Amino acid sequence: MKHTISALVKNRAGVLADSSAAFQKSGINITSISCGETENMEVSRMVICAEGSEEDMTTVTKELLEMDFVIQLDDLARKDFVDRELVLIKVAVNKDSMSQVMQIFEVFRADVIGMGQNTITAELSGDQERIDGLIKILEPLGIKSMCRTGMIALKRGDE
């Protein structure tokens, strides 16, 4: 089962390492992790996407809550949240495929950020399904290089 954990943590060295070690100890695979400062420079928001059983996730979240650097922790798997991911993607192009690649970028509203003799690079932000959709359509055309940020997420509403 997929889970999205959002944690407010103290902005200090070792937080990511200690957090990921807790997941490793429980045998849970982290599929994506991102962390950055919040509006308060002393606090970071860490978003961890992981796949594991309900029991294993309960164990790891309890362990995380006991760590002195965790301020707040939410398992967003059961709540409404808004998420985004960024992908930079470099695709092979030639005179025959250029218009097709540009049309795909237009449909997905991806921004072209670089061009070479044989490649074109674009960026796209959106939810995981949108990013996965772009990748799936571009794969047959020849993805040369790609970098994804991992998911960032916030709860919806006023909470």
Domain match, 67 and 99 both: no
Using a pLDDT cut of 90, give the percent of the chain over it: 82
Domain match, 95 and 138 both: yes
> pTM of the full predicted structure?
0.81
Q: How far apart are CA 146 and CA 53, in angstroms?
A: 30
Query: What was the pLDDT predicted at 13?
Result: 94
Domain match, 90 and 140 both: yes
Q: How far apart are CA 135 and CA 130, in angstroms?
A: 9
- Domain boundary residue, one of 79, 96, 125: 79
Asked if residue 69 has pLDDT above 70, the reply is: yes
Q: How confident is the model at residue 65 (pLDDT cuts 50, 70, 90)?
A: very high
- Domain boundary residue, one of 51, 79, 107: 79
Domain match, 68 and 88 both: no
Domain match, 32 and 59 both: yes
Q: How confident is the model at residue 81 (pLDDT cuts 50, 70, 90)?
A: confident
Domain match, 68 and 92 both: no
φ/ψ of 40, rounded to 5, equals -105, 115
Domain holding 64: CATH number?
3.30.70.260
* Structure-block tokens of residue 9: 């943590």
Q: Residue 98: which domain range? A: 82-155
Domain match, 70 and 93 both: no
Domain match, 44 and 96 both: no
Which H, E and C letters describe the chain, residue by residue? Answer: CEEEEEEEEECCCCHHHHHHHHHHHCCCEEEEEEEEECCCCCEEEEEEEEECCHHHHHHHHHHHHCCCCEEEEEEHHHCCEEEEEEEEEEEECCCCCHHHHHHHHHHHCCEEEEECCCEEEEEEEECHHHHHHHHHHHHHHCEEEEEECCCEEEECCCC
Domain match, 6 and 74 both: yes
What is the average pLDDT across 9-35?
93
- Domain boundary residue, one of 54, 79, 104: 79
Residue 111 CA neighbour count, 13 Å, CB half:
7
pLDDT tens digits for range 101-155: 999 999 999 999 999 999 999 999 999 999 999 999 999 999 999 999 989 998 8
Query: What was the pLDDT predicted at 52?
Result: 86
* Structure-block tokens of residue 105: 């970028």
Query: What was the pLDDT predicted at 116?
Result: 93
Number of domains in the chain: 2
